Amino acid sequence: MAKASAFDGNFQTFGRMMALHGVVVVMVDFRNSTVPSRPQESIAAFPGGLNDCVCSVRWVVANRPFVGGGTHSRIILAGESGGGNLCIATALKLKEMNDLSCVQGIYSMCPFISGQYALDVQGVSQYYPSLSAYPMGCNGIVLNSVMMQTFAAGYGDGLANEKLAWPSNCTVADVTGLCPIVISVNEFDPLKDEGVAFYDKCVSGQVEARCVVVKGTVHATDNYFVGTAPCLSRETALNIARFAKGDGTAAAQSKI
């Protein structure tokens, strides 16, 4: 939700990996908050990208035959990192609008959802242990505290308690009634614990939820860095396709 584009080669490749399993993949190039998704494109702080996603879902629902899906086909929302935030937030917004029935599932990967990424003087997070568990010096593993704080600031001021901007703020009551959800986290990702905490909240709200821990990986290894570990990328793509089809084996990757 801060940078990158659905037209980037890695996302295009991952989209094809999913489509190979007989599902229609619609990739939404929503407005980023910090870096334009493509040259000449605009940027927008919250709720710009979220509004783009909500409008896109409603368009897909109204045009299923046009995009290659049947009129009664399942629609799930999937995204990684900031996209993992937006697929959850889109479902929450649709729920708020009494329009969640158009979505049958959420597959959120390494979600960037707390908005709280500052460390104390000892370099420790007061929010989630994983934020400071894998520092690898001051640079972090893929992500670091300064980078995440910068992206959070770019999303907009005064959003620390905004549930649609940062879904970690949701209460159990807020998530009750959500459609089935899979939260996938990477073992050595600073964002791991906030993803697991959201899963726990969904379970408490009696949402049909699964949590997948992709062992031995850093942030978004299996879906952003598709050339680094293609076997993992294929496995995640297969899991998402199975989930989209309503296959109960969507959490198979937890065995990796």
- 3-state SS, residue 207: coil
> Would you say residue 252 has pLDDT above 80?
no
* DSSP-derived pairing of the beta strands 181-186 and 209-214: parallel
> Would you say residue 253 has pLDDT above 70?
no
Per-residue pLDDT at 114: 97
Per residue in 215-234, pLDDT (tens digit) is: 999 999 999 999 999 999 99
- 3-state SS, residue 184: strand
Per-residue pLDDT at 68: 87
Mean pLDDT of 59-66: 92
- Name the DSSP letter for residue 252: G
- Integer CA distances (angstroms), 26 to 1, 9, 77, in order: 17, 15, 10
In DSSP notation, 72-128 reads T---EEEEETHHHHHHHHHHHHHHHTT-GGG--EEEEES----------TTS--SS-
> Would you say residue 256 has pLDDT above 50?
no
**pLDDT confidence of 136, banded at 50, 70, 90?**
low
**Both structure tokens of 176:** 């009750």
**Both structure tokens of 180:** 């089935």
Name the average pLDDT for the chain: 92
Which class is domain 9-255?
A: alpha beta
Does an H or E element contain 175, and which? helix 172-175
Contact of 164 with 198, CB cutoff 8 Å: no
**Both structure tokens of 97:** 């609008």
- Sequence ranges of the domains in the chain: 9-255
**Both structure tokens of 78:** 């999937």
Measure the CA–CA gap between 217 and 232, rounded to whole angstroms.
Answer: 9
**pLDDT confidence of 140, banded at 50, 70, 90?**
low
Mean pLDDT of 18-28: 96
Measure the CA–CA gap between 13 and 11, rounded to whole angstroms.
Answer: 5
**Both structure tokens of 144:** 């670091």
* DSSP-derived pairing of the beta strands 76-80 and 181-186: unpaired
Measure the CA–CA gap between 54 and 51, rounded to whole angstroms.
Answer: 5
- Name the DSSP letter for residue 179: P
Specify the long-range contacts of residues 36-43, CB closer than 8 Å, at least 24 apart: 37/3, 37/4, 37/5, 37/6, 37/7, 38/5, 38/7
Contact of 183 with 196, CB cutoff 8 Å: yes
Per residue in 148-171, pLDDT (tens digit) is: 999 999 999 999 999 999 999 999
